[in-house]
Structure 1
Amino acid sequence: MIRKFLLLLSMIVSGEIANAQTNYAASDIPKNLMIRSNAVIRTHNETVEVKSYTQVIYHVKKAITVFNNNGDVHAAIDIYYTRNREARINLKGVIYNEFGMPVSKFSDKNLTDESAISDGSLYEDSRVKRFKPAIASYPYTIEYEYEQTFNQSLLLPYWKPIETTGVSVQSARFELKTFPGFSYRLKELNYAGKAISDSTKDFKSTVWTMHDAPSYRSELYSPHPETFLTSVRITPDKFSYQGVDGSFANWKEFGTWVNEKLLKGRTELPPETIASIKELVSQLPDEKSKAKKIYEYMQQKSRYISVQIGIGGFQPAKAFEVDKLSYGDCKALVNYTQALLNVAGIKSYYCIVQAGSFKRNAPADFATMQFGNHIILCLPFERDTTWLECTSKDIPFGFLSDFTDDRTVIACTESGGKIMHTPYYSPLKNKQIRKANFRIDSLGNADVTMETSFSGTQYENHDALLRLTQTEMIKKFREFYEINNIESAKISFTQNKSANPTAVETAEFTAYNYGVINGGRLYIPLNEVNSSRTINELRNRTFPVYINRGYTDVDELTFKLPGDYKIESLPENKVIKQPFGEFSVTIKKDEKSVTYTRSLILKEGNYPAEAYQQLVDFYQEIKEADNSKLVLIKR
């Protein structure tokens, strides 16, 4: 009787979708797809149909089984749209229990419609329609389909069947259908199969598929997922985007299109600003000193705020408007800085970059509008190419931080797009150098003076101290260090804003009970200012070891000993050398003091997967050395 009731419920709830479904019982999922998986994509069919340059239809049908609460995020539906992506979604879906029986259904009316304005944005026309299933028991399956219409052909959806860790794929299919005469370029990454193409008089179709792909796990020090996950990207040779037509087949043509369609005519400035800039640089001897003065003027006058409206997501606001309002996003501030430099006759390039701590290059062989998330400025001086980050009020002239360092970018030059490379900061340039004196008394209290300098990509390590009151600065300082009971502190933080800048933090404070008295001995920690972490062991590592950026840390700590104690024991000197890094500890002593010098150099690069265990051991040995103590006894 119960089985008959459940069958009837299934027929009532699921409707048409249930009639066409495959079996979504969780027990039917292949065992290898469940290993390390929070969810399994049962089926994911996507179709991109380019009907014309101004009409693209995107159809999605997806079913995903979720095993635990870590997989819930993959069952949520987020459908983003703007006026270039119509809001008509036409969503329908069903939720199934672990036996594959439907328990509820949903449609457009269950979607919430929210603004998708990001933090730091003044205005965007992005919105998102959302649905999050409320399920109390696992596993469950959600199946849904929807359709969107785009009135542009510049940005086409791309295929990425596995997007993140802990999700496997049972079946995925991606189809591109185009009208006759629509030409495009493809970029297949890590696709083991072979696309199948077909043509009729009405359209051309190309299909990519994936079956029974296991999930992958997160592994520390892995390369960027783009280097090993499957994806297919599509970019048109000709397109239309919000009334702007264009075409490009390579980066050179891309740069020309950007110059002509997005940048041209947007550098006009008010006459009074032109006069001010001319007066500002009139007495300076060369282009570089003039550029520096203009850059600092821009930093003082303007601030960063994002504006993403229509084609404004790609096109900068006019320099005249930024000058009037004193704010803009990265595009607008770069364009404004260009306009100011033009007044002084200084050439510069608008550059598109994939920003972020993780270094990512422009694909040399695949020009696409989908590359890049940030704009920086290049000044091609004859013997000294200089780069500018225009969204920061504090960053020095000619310095790029770890947000945009050491990667290829697309520079929009007067002759078209050009691939250029931003500055590389070596491990020996990315330095944190510290000297400290600890005067220890007989109770273990320490009066400390400490100076730390930061340079290269470590320049901004402690810039959170900028513009804080002394009270706020002391609070933040305590967060930076593991030293307990810091009192009577005086902190200062200064910056030398050269092209190779340094920041200097100086501190004076008392650390009560820095040393611990136990059994007639005084135990003094030798390193509580820069203690290393350990990393977890990992069996059967899959990916190579990738160290994204190298650095150098040197700490020289001198301990003045209390007169009524003498040294009982000291740790031994230590040297560790590996292909990816070097570590050393040197300890020198005399009757009144001990000097502890610690050096760590980490080297960026790619290393075999087998090197991960060496890296684990490397950090473990460093941690043990960092935990070492100086032991004193009464004289």
Structure 2
Amino acid sequence: MRRPFFAVLALALSPSSPAAAAVADAFPRYPIDNVPLVLLENAHAVVRTDEQTLTVKSVGRTVETVRRAVTILDEAGADHATQLVYYDQFHTVSYLRGTVYNADGKAVRQLRAADIHDYSLSDGFSLANDVRGKAADLRQPTYPYTVEYEYEVESSNPLFYCSWRPQEQEQLAVESASFRVLTPRELPLRYQEQRLPAGVAVEHSQQGTTEVYQWEVRNLVAVEEENDAPPLAELTPAVLTAPTAFEVQGHAGTLTSWQTLGQWTYDLNAGRDELPAAVKARIAALVQGVADERTRIRKVYEFLQANTRYISIQLGIGGWQTFPAAAVAASGYGDCKALTNYCKALLQAADVKSYCALVLADEPDIRTEFPSNQFNHVVLCVPLTKAAKADTVWLECTSQTTAFNYMGSFTGNRHALLLTPTGGKLIRTPRYGANENRRERRADLYLDAQGNATATIRTLRTGLEQDNFSQLFHNLPPAEQKKKVADALPFANFSITKFGLTPGPAAPVPSMVESLGLTLPSFAAPSGKRIFLSANLLSRWSALPAAVGERRADIQLENAFAYSDTVRIHVPAGLKPESLPAPVKLTTAFGTYSSQVQALPDGTLQYVRQLRMPVTRFARTEYAGYVEFRRKISTADKAQVVFVKTDS
């Protein structure tokens, strides 16, 4: 179910007609002097016009046309002049055209057929992928200039209608943009408007038996992404669209609810979970005598991980219909649909019922209020029916290393569409909060009289905090793991004398343990008889800038976590602490923080820092308070211990 990955450069074009070129030469099209000054502020590019039209021809065919002109103001906006349009057996490019205009609006170049390059858009892990792209590069050495593109794509896959996002990047202004949808009366459009400017609404009309929907925006000033804000896509205007009925390669369906979308997907894959008798017998022997349901599931999952590997298959209807389980049993490979379906069949052989679930992986959660195909991945949901307490096990079937019953940052903390014989049902994947996402660090710092230091550090990371380190451990050799960790250390001068990265103890969520030995020359700054040392070794937070003007976006804290640091500072003879930082304790809606340095009876100092943050969202009017919270943390994290040299 994973869609092919390809970078969006945008579109590529073939030559305009000679007549069109002559008209362009005679009449300046996009002179820079015509751009309102307000649109040039904080902008690297300005969309002069963007006309997007979706025409629904039938339940199984759509046509999308686009004409878009962008004035590129500087090098940072040059990507708007490189373009790509993709196609596959469902999509056909009807035409492509392109023109470059100088600052005065005079046409200086037409895109030629020879300039268009055709590429396979293989994602690097697909065994078979029929997605290709036509790409062109119309960047110019002198700014400003304008690039105009036109293209048309016919599609026989109306499961996906296009969406309209006229301002999809930061520091991009929009002078004029419009979106039209034409659809037969018997195929009414489903749409959702998001963050449209005041006074902008759909214009709905009829042309004979055709329903026409149209939106238009003008003079959208450039926006910049703000600290700890939601993704830009949640802040700029958009219109999302979806069909009410569709047909893909003879498979008809309706899309009026999550139930109907799930029903179509379930029916498309029904009956493809039959296993060879030998595999059934092997699974029966594997779980023989195992009464505990969770243990039976774990054994089957470990069998799956040991005997299969992930390879994507993206050919036609194969984007949605799985390979039969028997084919996976024979080959040992499959994509996310095939491996999940195979695991479902294996569990069925172990007398455990499970359900495939569609999910939007590695991206923000779906828009639950707008049923549509927003998914790119499939996982397995296993309700425990024989346990004393109701529970659910979730399985990521594409990985040989993902822990049992762990979704992580890839598919956790979001909604999934459960596929059942009676249709789709929205449910939530596991949520990982501060109790699961922990980082616990203990360090011993040994200081000498000249301010040099050595340190031994042990860091335990759990839940989402360990995801990246688990990837390092499983995908890179130790030398490269060490380099990645070294690159992230905040010291100007250091060497690693010891390094280890290992899985942590068994727990409900996985963990990783990092062991470090460090040599830190000139770590503490000397000044006469005194030495200044920051007790916070590795967990310093930076302050945030105050908002320039009015804050536009809410504050979004995506992942909850709990950090704990304990540093024991071993002081040599001839040094004694002269001044310790005052204890700090902060309790706010944004989170809680505390730090303290204490002298212990054995002559060492102990620094303890605690930070706990929720996953939540605050109104933009709270930003000043959040900035102050971060400022106080930053100040406390930089506080120094002052040592003075004694005569002894």
What TM-score do the two structures reach when normalised by structure 2? 0.90
Matched ranges for 1:604-623 at <5 A: 604-623=615-634
Deviation at 1:106, TM superposition (A): 1.8
Say whether the 8 Å CA contact 1:98–1:138 is kept in structure 2: yes
> Conserved in 2, the CA contact under 8 Å of 1:38 and 1:67?
yes
Change (3 A) 1:464 1:407: closer
Cα distance 1:524–1:196, how it changes in 2: closer, same or farther (>3 A)? closer
Secondary structure of 1:462's partner?
Answer: helix
**In 1, distance between residues paired with 2:524 and 2:122?**
51
Q: Which stretch shifts more, 49-58 or 307-316? A: 49-58
* Matched-pair contact (CA < 8 Å) for 1:14–1:102: no
Distance 2:525 2:406 in 1: 44
Match of 1:5 in 2: none
SS at match of 2:408: coil
The one of 607, 613, 616 equivalent to 1:602 is 613
Q: Specify which of 414, 417, 434 is matched with residue 424 of structure 2.
A: 417
Distance 2:483 2:140 in 1: 43
Q: Deviations over 1:20-55 (max 9, x none)?
A: 977411111112222211111111112212222333
Alpha-carbon offset, residue 67 of structure 1: 0.8
Q: Paired residue for 2:42, among 36, 42, 53?
A: 36
Q: What SS does structure 2 have at the residue aligned with 1:496? A: coil
Secondary structure of 2:161's aligned partner: coil
Q: Does 1:86 align with 2:95?
A: no
Instruction: Check conservation: 2:540, 2:634, Cα contact below 8 A.
Output: yes
Q: Give RMSD over aligned pairs.
A: 2.5
- 2 CA distance for matches of 1:150 and 1:475? 47
Q: Give the direction of change, closer, same or farther, for the CA distance of 1:388–1:12 in structure 2 (3 Å limit).
A: closer
Instruction: State the Cα distance separating 1:331 from its structure 2 match.
Output: 1.8
CA shift, 1:564, in A, is 2.6
How many Å apart are 1:431 and its aligned residue?
A: 0.9
Are 1:546 and 2:549 counterparts? no
Q: Mean Cα displacement is larger for which, 609-618 or 228-237?
A: 609-618
| Equivalences for residues 89-168 of structure 1 within 5 A | 90-168=95-173
In structure 2, distance between residues paired with 1:350 and 1:552: 33
- Structure 2: runs of 5 or more not aligned: 1-16
User: Unaligned stretches of 5+ in structure 1?
Assistant: 1-10
The 8 Å contact of residues 485 and 513 in structure 1, kept in 2 or not, is answered as no
Matched, 1:375 2:378: yes
Partner AA of 1:83 in structure 2: Q
Residue 567 (structure 1) aligned with residue 577 (structure 2): yes
Confirm whether residue 389 of structure 1 aligns to residue 392 of structure 2.
no
1:478 and 2:481 are equivalent in the alignment = no
* Inter-partner Cα distance in structure 2 for 1:17 and 1:47: 24
CA contact (8 A) 1:448 1:509 kept: yes
Distance verdict in 2 for CA 1:34–1:485, change over 3 Å: closer
> What is the SS of the residue equivalent to 2:166?
coil
Is contact 2:441–2:565 with CA below 8 Å preserved after alignment?
A: yes
Q: Structure 1 pair 100/518, CA: closer, same or farther in 2 (3 Å)?
A: same
Distance 1:555 1:84, change over 3 A: same
Asked if 1 retains the 8 angstrom alpha-carbon contact of 2:499 and 2:514, the reply is: no
Aligned to 2:93, what secondary structure does the other structure show? coil
Amino acid at match of 1:224: P
The one of 312, 317, 325 aligned to 2:323 = 317
Q: 1:570 to 1:302 in 2, by over 3 A?
A: same
Which residue of the partner structure matches residue 274 of structure 2?
Answer: 268
C-alpha deviation, 1:455, in angstroms: 1.6
- 1:128, 1:390 → 2: CA distance? 30
CA displacement at 1:490 relative to structure 2: 4.7
Cα distance per residue 1:503-559 (max 9 Å; x no partner): 323344544444444423333331222222333333122111111112111101111
Residue 4 (structure 2) aligns with? none
1:629 pairs with 2:640: yes
Deviation at 1:420, TM superposition (A): 0.2
Selected match of 1:231 from 238, 255, 262:
238
Partners of 1:183 and 1:236 within 8 A in 2: yes
Structure 1 CA distance for aligned equivalents of residues 182 and 25 of structure 2: 27
What residue in structure 2 maps to residue 8 of structure 1? none
2:556 partner amino acid: Y
Which residue type is aligned with residue 374 of structure 1?
H
Q: C-alpha offsets along residues 56-114 of structure 1, whole Å, 9 cap, x if unaligned?
A: 222211211111111111232211111111133x2223211111111111244431111
Secondary structure of 2:264's partner?
helix
Structure 1 CA distance for aligned equivalents of residues 518 and 98 of structure 2:
63
Does the 8 A contact of 2:170 with 2:232 survive in 1? no
| CA–CA distance in structure 2, aligned partners of residues 304 and 339 of structure 1 | 17
Give the conservation status (yes or no) of the 8 Å contact 1:362–1:410. no
Give the corresponding residue for 1:3. Answer: none
Q: Aligned pair in 2 of structure 1 residues 517, 211: CA closer, same or farther (>3 Å)?
A: closer
- Are the equivalent residues in 2 in contact too, given 1:13–1:103 (CA < 8 A)? no
Cα distance, 1:497 vs structure 2: 4.3
CA apart distance, 1:12: 7.6
Please, which of 523, 531, 535 is the counterpart of residue 544 of structure 2? 535
Offset of 1:167 from its aligned partner? 1.4
CA contact (8 A) 2:92 2:153 kept: yes
Contact kept, 8 Å, 1:51 with 1:57, in 2: the verdict is yes
When structure 1 is superposed on structure 2, of 264-273 and 188-197 the one drifting more is: 188-197
What is the SS of the residue equivalent to 1:368? coil
TM-fit CA distance, 1:384: 0.6
Separation of aligned partners in 2, 1:12 and 1:387: 60
1:389-445 Cα offsets, whole Å, 9 max, x none, are 222222211112122222222111232100101122222331101112223344444
Q: Note closer, same or farther for the CA distance 1:498–1:167 as it changes in structure 2 (3 Å cut).
A: same
Q: 1:341 aligns with which of 322, 343, 347?
A: 347
Which residues of 2 match residues 146-225 of structure 1 at below 5 A? 146-192=151-197, 193-225=200-232
Bigger shift: 465-474 or 147-156? 465-474
Q: Does 1:430 align with 2:437?
A: yes
Rounded to whole Å, the distance in 1 between the matches of 2:409 and 2:27 is: 49
Q: Which residue of 1 aligns with 2:54?
A: 48
- Please tell me the residue identity of whatever aligns with 1:450: I
For 2:241 and 2:518, the matched residues in 1 are separated by 59
CA distance 1:508–1:15, shift in 2 (3 Å):
closer
Name the amino acid aligned to 2:534: P
Distance 2:256 2:568 in 1: 62
Q: Does 1:299 align with 2:305?
A: yes
- The CA deviation at 1:611 is 2.7
Q: Is the 8 A contact 1:50 1:179 kept in 2?
A: yes
Higher mean alpha-carbon deviation, 248-257 vs 313-322, is at: 313-322
**Range with bigger deviation, 194-203 or 213-222:** 194-203
Amino acid of the residue matched to residue 494 of structure 2?
N
Work out whether residues 545 and 606 of structure 1, in 8 Å CA contact, stay in contact via their aligned partners in 2: yes
Aligned residues of 1:40 and 1:65 also touching (Cα < 8 A): yes
Q: 1:574 to 1:113 in 2, by over 3 A?
A: same
Letter in 1 for 2:392: T
CA distance in 2, matches of 1:188, 1:147: 24
TM-score, structure 1 as length reference: 0.92
Distance 1:14 1:162, change over 3 A: same
Q: Does the CA-based 8 Å contact 1:237-1:249 persist in structure 2?
A: yes
TM-superposed deviation, 1:594: 0.1
Gap change, CA 1:256 and 1:13, over 3 Å in 2: closer
